[in-house]
Chains A and B, each alone.
Chain A
Amino acid sequence: MTILAVPSGWRTGAITAVTEWHSPSRMTAAGLRLAVHLFLVVCLWHALYAGTTVSAGLTEAQAVTYAVLAVLIVRPRANDRYSARDTVIQHINFGTIVYWFLRPLPARRYYFFRAAGDQVYGLAWALAGYLVCLAAGVLDPPPSAGAALAFAATFALGQAVTYYLLLLTDQLCFWTIKNSSAVDIMMFTQNLLSGAYAALWFFPGWFQALSAALPFQATINVPLSFYVGRLPLSELPGQLALQGFWVLLLAALTRFLWTRAAGRVVAQGG
């Protein structure tokens, strides 16, 4: 990466944030939706625990904290790039994907800056939501400094896994022409197997074993389990190694697919 690429990368990464910033109504609506959703999720989990104190090794406070944080972590996916007509599938359908391969900035680097910008923008919302919820006493802080550090480390790697999973589904449309269903399936699968709907501790053993063999739980369940203290710190090295394995594997696979994808680009008319 050259020095000149950094400013263009910053500008590319800031596209979503700048677009949203210039649309106050969209930002207000996004904030409203997030606030209402958090409130509803808190109500649901308090109601579920009305008749019990501990379930699947999680207390009511731990479960509510987990559920709130899961909503916040999933927040970056709510960015609407479709309206800006800048999704991979739209570019392939409109034929404009060819420009990605004609610019001085390589396609895979443009994709990285754009996606990373989206994730940072979404996480800024998540951080704001976290601070408000923490101040309001809706969720608890991590039980120890070690748990906080374990959360930070596994969360960072989890975001890398999330990036590569989304990239993989976008790369798919170079071969399938359409990929909206693949993206949706990936979203549901990821939500279910990552523990976004509910902590994986609530699920039966076979389901947890299935999740352990896939990369999805690295994105939400692992970092949040450290945050609420459900996973002991002794598990940290093993979890980091597993997350690192997934990051390396997905990085190698997606890099290989980028080289193949360039050969699949067809300008309008063939």
Chain B
Amino acid sequence: MRGFLPAWALALRVVGLTFRAQLEYRGEFWMRVALGLAWQTSIIVFATVLLGRFPGMGGWSSDAVLMIAAVRMLGHAFYEVFFGRVGELAVLVQEGRFDAFLLRPLPVYRQVQLSAFPSNALGDLLVGGSLFAWAVWSIELEWAPWQIAYIVAALVGGMLVEAAVFTALSSLHLHFPSAITWSYWTEELMTTFGNYPLKILPGVISGAFTFVVPLAFVAYFPVAVLTGNTAGLGVPVAVAAAAPLIGLAAFAGSRVLWNWSLTRYTGVNG
């Protein structure tokens, strides 16, 4: 505990410096904010269009489907705030900047996260937060204390599942920077298929999105538990309800994998 607060104080100072550094490129800064807005807005437009044209997906009401999209997108915004720089790891490795992290007296993973200010996350938060507020206002739930606590846990869990997936993939980038295309592809899959009840897809696909790329744990399972749409989940309800805990376990596992991969890091030139 003695070192915890100074570590956070130092991290906040570095965040402040990276923020000032980004403001040196004012146009790029505002474009990164706009990037978050454009990214999230494009997903919202796509999702709402499909919801309007094809109501009642898999027996879910439109409000419940909207809640899936809202939880996923706000969880993604939190991921961008706290963990999004793992997506830039391939660039850091390829340009040799990563090697300097190994010489500094700070955990390497933390240095990766502090390497740039997440200005795009500002746009993500704005749109994700707005959609979440709209979904909460629209859905017919009593919002008992346990439901409020569970939705907060679900958002944190969704953030951790996404962080686990991309941290695990970035452990590959430490050795093969060009493997970043797998991360882009995985992100595209999560964006395209993460906003709907996965039960509308064939069993083999929803199973893959549960056990291979754990997309179901990001928003689908928690919202299913919250809204009572627990038929046809493909896993016991208790497992679906434990999605936030599974997210925490997955992230811890991905960090173990990342640290192991780091011990074998040799740089892009061998």
Contacts and interface: CB of A to CB of B under 8 A. Distances in A.
A184 B35 contact: yes
Interface string B70-101: 00000000000000000000010010000000
B255 interface: no
Interface in A190-213: 191-192, 197-198, 202-204, 207
A78 B182 CA distance: 11
Contact of A198 (B49, B57, B177): B49
A85 B268 CA distance: 13
Nearest to A190: B42
A47 interface: yes
Interface stretch (B138-146, B150-158, B200-208, B246-254): B200-208
Contact of B53 (A26, A55, A185): A55
Nearest to A186: B38
A82 B39 CA distance: 21
A180 B88 CA distance: 12
Contacts of A176: 25, 27-28, 31
A260 interface: no
B33 to A, nearest CB: 9
Q: How large is the interface on A (under 10, 10 to 19, 20 to 34, 35 or more residues)?
A: 35 or more
B201 A51 contact: no
Nearest to A182: B31
Interface stretch (A37-45, A143-151, A250-258): A37-45
Contact of A178 (B25, B177, B178, B181): B25
Interface string A156-197: 000000000000000000001111111011001101100001
Given A40-B192, A177-B28, 15 more contacts: A30-B181, A33-B181, A33-B182, A37-B189, A47-B200, A48-B50, A51-B54, A82-B91, A82-B180, A83-B178, A176-B28, A181-B120, A185-B38, A202-B53, A203-B49
Interface of A: 26, 29-30, 33, 37, 39-41, 43-44, 47-52, 55-56, 78, 80, 82-83, 85, 176-182, 184-185, 188-189, 191-192, 197-198, 202-204, 207
